[in-house]
Structure 1
Amino acid sequence: MLNIVIFGPPGAGKGTQSQKLIDKYQLVHISTGDLFRAHIKKETDLGKKVIEYNNNGILVPDSITIDMLKGVLNENKQANGFIFDGYPRTVAQAEALDKFMEENNTSIHAVVQLAVTEEEVRQRLKIRRDAEHRPDDEESKVNRRIEEYFDKTVHVLPYYEKQGKLAKINGIGSIDDIFAKTCEQIDVARGAKA
């Protein structure tokens, strides 16, 4: 089993690289945002709790997110592995994810950071907004997501660096070059865990 966490600010290319990694390694993609939306749409008990927290302006507790992750893992027991996108966002979440993975006799093998400057991210998102008219690319939402990443999420990286799992990849360049460098780092991490 191969388990990867992909990090990077909005517009860093996580979606593009995630899809290429999924195709190459036959991984199951786990996006916490997608999980929340799916549970809300299906009106599950967890989805109702997410709505309640959101309506009160409170972040969804880690325990609920982990319960959703457990559901995905249980539904995909024969998977070659997982790629986590959008989780963990805090050290507490990273610790909870490690504990959860350990309980399932596996671990996070590699953490890929697509390193892109804030200036580059803003330029990419402006181009994407003009071309695709995506609702999540509205300037106010983009600013909030960029601030969230550079103020909070980026601080999770030292946690994984101490474990020797962090692969910093320059996120500026051709998609194929970035992908080749990413695979090289993942293959090294996978070989070390074999």
Structure 2
Amino acid sequence: MIKVVFLGPPGAGKGTQAVRIAEKYNVPHISTGDILRAAVKEGTELGKLAKSYMDRGELVPDEVIIGIIRERLSQPDVKERGFILDGFPRTIAQAEALDELLKELQLPLDKVIYLNVDDEEIVKRLLARGRADDTEDVIRNRLKVYREQTAPLVDYYTEKGLLVEICGVGEIEEITKKIEESLGLND
């Protein structure tokens, strides 16, 4: 059973690596973006609430996100095989709420994988994706928001003894191998 959070700046490769590990080891990959879209599509109460914020172009508040994460972490596949959280938590307040939730569900976190990639590499990667909304100014602003809101989680999880820092630059397969080693997963 794997119970891990993937952390890092936008474009660090969290989603890519989370999916690779999840598929290889048959662990649920829990992406907050995917969960929000699914909850909205399914028309759950929390999904309807999230949609009301999204339709207004507002950020979905923590309590709604945490409620949606609670629903997902309570599913049988998570109890059987664990989870890989990707895109959550994004703030210290969310991390503290996650700690409480995991304690309640008796699913203690194994590790937090921090994919460290410098800003210039991130800008280069995200510009290469060619998305219309990925201009250099927008990317640099996203990095600024990341540093202000999410980067403090590096210290938060270091203090808890859970953080494993992995260089997120290099061949995808090599980075996956480093993650597997840090989680004690061997072929």
> Structure 1 length as normaliser, TM-score?
0.84
Matched, 1:4 2:1: no
Comparing 101-110 and 70-79, the one that deviates more:
70-79
Aligned length: 184
2:151 alignment partner, SS class: helix
Comparing 45-54 and 118-127, the one that deviates more:
45-54
Match of 2:159 in 1: 162
Matched, 1:20 2:20: yes
Gaps of 5+ in 1: 189-194
Runs of 4+ in structure 1 over 6 Å off: none
> What value does the CA root-mean-square deviation take over the aligned residues?
2.1
For residues 145-193 of structure 1, what are the alpha-carbon distances to aligned partners after superposition, in whole Å with 9 as ceiling and x for unaligned?
Answer: 32221221111111110111000001111112211111111118xxxxx
1:152 alignment partner, SS class: helix
1:27 alignment partner, SS class: coil
Instruction: Give percent identity, aligned residues only.
Output: 42
For residues 119-167 of structure 1, what are the alpha-carbon distances to aligned partners after superposition, in whole Å with 9 as ceiling and x for unaligned?
Answer: 00000111121xxxx4564556534432221221111111110111000
Matched, 1:176 2:177: no
Distance 1:52 1:171, change over 3 A: same
CA distance in 1, matches of 2:32, 2:173: 26
Comparing 172-181 and 63-72, the one that deviates more:
63-72
Comparing 49-58 and 144-153, the one that deviates more:
49-58
For residues 84-125 of structure 1, what are the alpha-carbon distances to aligned partners after superposition, in whole Å with 9 as ceiling and x for unaligned?
Answer: 011001111111111111111121111011100010000011
Partner letter of residue 168 of structure 1?
Answer: E
CA distance in 2, matches of 1:120, 1:159: 25
CA distance in 1, matches of 2:114, 2:72: 23
CA distance in 1, matches of 2:53, 2:23: 35
Distance apart, 1:66 and its partner CA: 2.1
Match of 1:65 in 2: 65
Distance apart, 1:59 and its partner CA: 3.5
Match of 1:113 in 2: 114
1:187 alignment partner, SS class: coil
Matched, 1:187 2:184: yes
Gaps of 5+ in 2: none
Partner letter of residue 64 of structure 1?
Answer: V
Match of 2:143 in 1: 146
